[in-house]
């Protein structure tokens, strides 16, 4: 059973530390990667609440409810203050894809300085989902600054990055190179605004019935705001804004959370999980997870609050529950 906003313990009875995360489904196993924020929250010299980098956590599960801690698969660097992964830097929103061509797991994340002016994408690779991941370095994708990001693998194996650029004034959407380790020449700028505060961040992409959907948040730091969904026939657009996918009480603040990923539920075509973070800026390590069903109605996604829920909410979809394959 999911209990959005509650403390969620792993199979060792420890609170899960995988914030701003994403999920990789690989050979029947779900891997959840996220920011380990298990440290004290303090105000940075830039006046922003932060936790020093601990590393990127990985958890594994076969049912999406019970998660085993696979450890810190990309740890902070302790002894080189200039290193991108030094504890005093920022590493956010890790996402992992499997690259069949190179048989490697490729992780992308936002790398920054404490004042968010470095604004780069970082890439790390491993030959196992559970790591350890080897850091390749960071760069300015498409030659521009990069903050919140996600990556998405299409059915044809081509992968894309969606990232907040130009101080969040645009979302840049770029095709990755065949090895998923860099960006190629093709990209677009979408959701453009001249006002930095009116930009979009926290992108999450999913595909349904041949259409691409992109859910984003507004830019209000750790504070929750309204999500927005857009749809397009191609990741390169044209994007049409559909509006807020959340409905009911607290829809205007995404149920006091900020999206981070949308997961297609294996065995249930057209059913999705919306993954979000309920940030706690006074104690970031105690930020909670808000996972809710995302259901499609005539091509429009809808997310509603459930105090507790399980996969029986999808019962009318006449499909099997995850983990029940072959039973
Ligand atoms: C909003 C972003 O979505 C988060 O990942 C994080 O960078 C916070 N801002 C920091 O205030």
Determine which residue's CA is closest to atom 1 belonging to ligand 1. 221
| Residue span of the structural domain in which 254 resides | 19-314
223 CA to middle of ligand 1, Å?
9
Ligand 1 atom with the smallest distance to the CA of 202 is 3
Classify residue 14: in a domain, yes or no.
no
- pLDDT computed for residue 326 by the predictor: 40
Q: CA gyration radius for the chain? A: 18
Ligand 1 atom with the smallest distance to the CA of 219 is 1
Domain count, the chain: 1
Q: Is the CB of 116 under 6 A from ligand 1?
A: no
Classify residue 10: in a domain, yes or no.
no
- pLDDT computed for residue 316 by the predictor: 73
59 CA to middle of ligand 1, Å?
22
Token pair for residue 215? 């859910």
Residues of the chain below pLDDT 70:
317-327
- pLDDT computed for residue 327 by the predictor: 37
Mutational pocket test of ligand 1: of 222, 279, 287, the residue with most ligand atoms within 8 Å of the beta carbon: 222
Q: Is the CB of 222 under 6 A from ligand 1?
A: yes
The predicted model scores a pTM of 0.96
CATH number at residue 307: 2.115.10.20
Q: Is the CB of 148 under 6 A from ligand 1?
A: yes
Q: Find tokens 């380790």 and name the residue.
A: 181
48 CA to middle of ligand 1, Å?
10
Q: Is the CB of 20 under 6 A from ligand 1?
A: yes
Q: Is the CB of 284 under 6 A from ligand 1?
A: no
Q: Output the 3-class SS for the chain.
A: CECCCCCCECCCCCECCCEEEEEEEECCEEEEEEEECCCCCEECCCCCEECCCCEEEEEEECCCCCCEEEEEEEECECCCCCCCCECCCEEEEEEEEEECCCCEEEEEEEEECCCCCCCEEEEEEECCCCCCCEEEEEECHHHCCCCCEEEEECCCCCEEEEEEECCCCEEEEEEECCCCCCEEEEEEEECCCCCHHHCCEEEEEEEECCEEEEEEECCCCCCCCCCEEEEECCCCCCCEEEECCEECCCHHHCCCCEEEEEEECCCCCCEEEEEEEECCCCCHHHCEEEEEEEEEECCEEEEECCCCECHHHHHHHCCCCCCCCCC
Classify residue 327: in a domain, yes or no.
no
- pLDDT computed for residue 321 by the predictor: 52
Classify residue 121: in a domain, yes or no.
yes
Ligand 1 atom with the smallest distance to the CA of 147 is 7
284 CA to middle of ligand 1, Å?
11
Classify residue 325: in a domain, yes or no.
no
Beta-carbon contacts of 218 under 8 Å, excluding residues fewer than 6 positions away, are 198, 199, 200, 201, 225, 226, 228
Classify residue 320: in a domain, yes or no.
no
Classify residue 323: in a domain, yes or no.
no
Determine which residue's CA is closest to atom 9 belonging to ligand 1. 221
- pLDDT computed for residue 267 by the predictor: 86
Alpha carbon separation from 246 to 159, 182, 224, 276, 293 (Å, rounded): 27, 33, 13, 12, 11
Residue 63's region, left for phi above 0, alpha for psi from -120 to 50, else beta, is alpha
Residue 301's region, left for phi above 0, alpha for psi from -120 to 50, else beta, is beta
Cα–Cα distance for residue pair 68/24, rounded to 1 Å: 14
Classify residue 321: in a domain, yes or no.
no
Cα–Cα distance for residue pair 303/244, rounded to 1 Å: 9
Per-residue exposure over 171-180, b if at least 16 CB sit within 10 Å of its own CB, e if not = bbbbbbeeeb
Ligand 1 atom with the smallest distance to the CA of 222 is 11
Beta-carbon contacts of 114 under 8 Å, excluding residues fewer than 6 positions away, are 44, 45, 46, 48, 50, 88, 89, 90
């Amino acid at each position: 059973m999911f209990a959005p906003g509650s403390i969620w313990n792993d199979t060792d009875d420890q609170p899960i530390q995988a914030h701003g995360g994403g999920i990789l489904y690989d050979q029947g196993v779900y891997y959840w990667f996220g920011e380990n924020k298990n440290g004290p929250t303090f105000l940075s010299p830039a006046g922003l609440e932060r936790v020093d980098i601990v590393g990127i956590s990985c958890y594994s599960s076969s049912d999406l409810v019970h998660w085993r801690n696979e450890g810190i698969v990309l740890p902070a660097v302790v002894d080189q203050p200039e290193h991108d992964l030094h504890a005093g830097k920022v590493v956010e929103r890790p996402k992992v894809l499997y690259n069949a061509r190179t048989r490697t797991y490729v992780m992308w994340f936002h790398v920054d300085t404490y004042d968010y002016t470095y604004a780069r994408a970082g890439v790390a690779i491993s030959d196992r989902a559970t790591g350890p991941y080897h850091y390749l370095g960071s760069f300015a994708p498409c030659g521009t600054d990069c903050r919140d990001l996600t990556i998405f693998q299409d059915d044809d194996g081509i992968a894309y990055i969606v990232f907040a650029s130009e101080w969040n004034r645009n979302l840049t959407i770029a095709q990755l190179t065949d090895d998923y380790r860099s960006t190629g020449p093709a990209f677009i700028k979408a959701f453009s605004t001249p006002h930095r505060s009116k930009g979009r961040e926290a992108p999450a992409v999913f595909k349904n019935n041949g259409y691409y959907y992109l859910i984003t948040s507004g830019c209000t730091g750790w504070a929750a705001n309204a999500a927005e969904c857009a749809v397009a026939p191609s990741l390169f657009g044209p994007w049409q804004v559909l509006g807020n996918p959340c409905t009911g009480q607290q829809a205007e603040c995404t149920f006091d959370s900020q999206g981070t990923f949308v997961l297609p539920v294996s065995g249930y075509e057209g059913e999705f999980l919306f993954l979000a973070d309920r940030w706690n800026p006074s104690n970031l390590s105690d930020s909670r997870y808000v996972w809710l069903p995302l259901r499609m109605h005539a091509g429009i996604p809808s997310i509603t609050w459930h105090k507790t829920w399980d996969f029986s909410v999808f019962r009318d979809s006449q499909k099997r529950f995850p983990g029940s394959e072959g039973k």
